[in-house]
Amino acid sequence: MDNLKDTIQKEIEKIWPQAKKNITKFNQDAVQLMKKSEKDLAVISKNIKTNVEKLVCKAKREELYYELGKNIAPLLTSDQLKDKNVLKIYTEIQQLSRRLRKK
């Protein structure tokens, strides 16, 4: 029985240095992969955030175009297109359009 134990222990001692190197390399590779994945996720997250901001701006811009149309429609027949509400909405539309171009 002791002979079998000794044989197994000697075999383990033979393969242990290489196994230890392999385990260490595997650990290093796993850490590098996780760091790369973390960076990739950060980029993806940033892109998603930018796209959501764009969608919000576009939706708000469309809502403002609708409001602009509601305010302009009655003025078209009366030649009074210098309304403060119309100018305010138009200015906000321009600001949103500039923000969209920057993204």
- Label residue 102 by pLDDT band (50, 70, 90): confident
- The answer to whether the beta carbons of residues 94 and 60 sit under 8 Å apart is no
Please report how many Cα atoms fall inside a 13 Å half-sphere around the Cα of residue 41, on the Cβ side: 6
pLDDT digits (tens, 9 = 90+) for 28-39: 999 999 999 999
DSSP string, 59-88: HHHHHHHHHHHHHHHHHHTTT----HHHHH
Residues with Cβ < 8 Å from 83, sequence gap 6 or more?
71, 75
pLDDT at 44 (0 to 100): 95
User: What average pLDDT does the segment 82-94 reach?
Assistant: 79
- Mean pLDDT, the chain, rounded, equals 87
pLDDT digits (tens, 9 = 90+) for 45-83: 999 999 999 999 999 999 999 998 888 777 756 666 677
Contact (Cβ atoms closer than 8 angstroms) between residue 87 and residue 48: no
Question: Residue 41: what pLDDT?
Answer: 93
